Amino acid sequence: MYKKILVPFDFGNSFVNVPEQLQKLSGSSKEAKITVFNVIAENEMADNVKFHGKHFDEIAKEKEADIQYFKDELDKYDLNYEIKFSTGRVLQELKKEIENGDYEIVVMSNKRSRMQIKHVLGHVTHKVAKRANIPVIIVK
């Protein structure tokens, strides 16, 4: 079973099927650590600072509140997790996190929350799956 799992969280995807897969991948072990990672894009950061006077800590706190439903699901499966935020270019920040985080596997969702999106894989999911030097599981 995997002990160090990265879950890049994207607000454009639905993560309803991910907690069950995380339980299977971790073997429900308390030693397994799941990192839920979200990158606040540069342009979103700039807009929030310029128009709303919000800075990184405040934005991260709001985003963490927005993923409460996902945290509740992780809690139902009694999974050991942490929430982590970064800011910058999404692909670059994900690549840095994967390389520096000593993860064993990346678990991504590809279940779109909006059905009108027709691509098989999203841009970020495709790039991470293509470039990561560790296994990537894409949960539909």
pLDDT digits (tens, 9 = 90+) for 13-48: 778 889 999 999 999 888 999 999 999 988 777 776
Computed over every residue of the chain, the mean pLDDT equals 87
pTM of the model as a whole:
0.87
Average pLDDT score over residue span 107-123: 67
Residue that the structure tokens 């596997």 belong to: 105
| Residues 107, 40: Cα–Cα separation, whole Å | 19
Task: Name the fold adopted by 4-139.
Answer: Rossmann fold (3.40.50)
User: Quick one: pLDDT at residue 69?
Assistant: 93
Domain boundaries along the sequence of the chain = 4-139
Give, to the nearest 10 degrees, the angle between helix 123-131 and helix 90-100. Answer: 30
DSSP category for residue 118? -
User: Quick one: pLDDT at residue 135?
Assistant: 95
Kind plus residue range of the DSSP H or E element containing 90: helix 90-100
User: Tell me, what amino acid is at 94?
Assistant: L
The radius of gyration of the chain's CA atoms, rounded to the nearest angstrom, is 15
Query: pLDDT per residue over 91-111, tens digit each?
Result: 999 999 999 999 999 999 876
Whole-number percent of the chain with pLDDT over 70: 89
User: Quick one: pLDDT at residue 119?
Assistant: 56
